[in-house]
Amino acid sequence: MNTTQLLNDIETLPPEAQQKIEEIVALMKDYYLSSKNKPQLSITKGDKTINPDELFGLWKEQPRNLTDIRKQAWQRSESES
C-alpha cells in the first residue's frame, strides 16, 4: 500500500479511529526511535566462587535444596486440588 492510499484510507475513518491511529503512530515512533539510541547492555558472567548454600540464610536451621522445595510445593498444590 502506498502512502497516498494509506492517507486516504485514514481520512475516511471516523475521528475516534483517526485519534487511535495517531496514538499508535506516536507509540511506534517512540519505540523505534528510542531503541536505536539505547546503549547495548554488556553481559557479564556471574561469580562462580560464591557458595549458593550461603544464600539460603532463611533456611539455616532447615537445610533445603531445590528438590526438597519442589517436592513440598507440589505436595501442597496437589492437596489444594
Question: Count of CB atoms within 10 A of residue 42's CB?
Answer: 5
Residue 74 has pLDDT above 80, yes or no: yes
> For residue 35, what pLDDT is reported?
65
pLDDT tens digit string along 38-65? Answer: 767 777 787 777 776 666 666 667 767 7
Q: How many CB atoms lie within 10 A of CB 64?
A: 13
Q: Residue 11: what pLDDT?
A: 95
3-43 residue pLDDT tens: 999 999 999 999 999 999 999 999 999 888 876 667 677 77
Task: Say yes or no to pLDDT of 81 above 60.
Answer: no
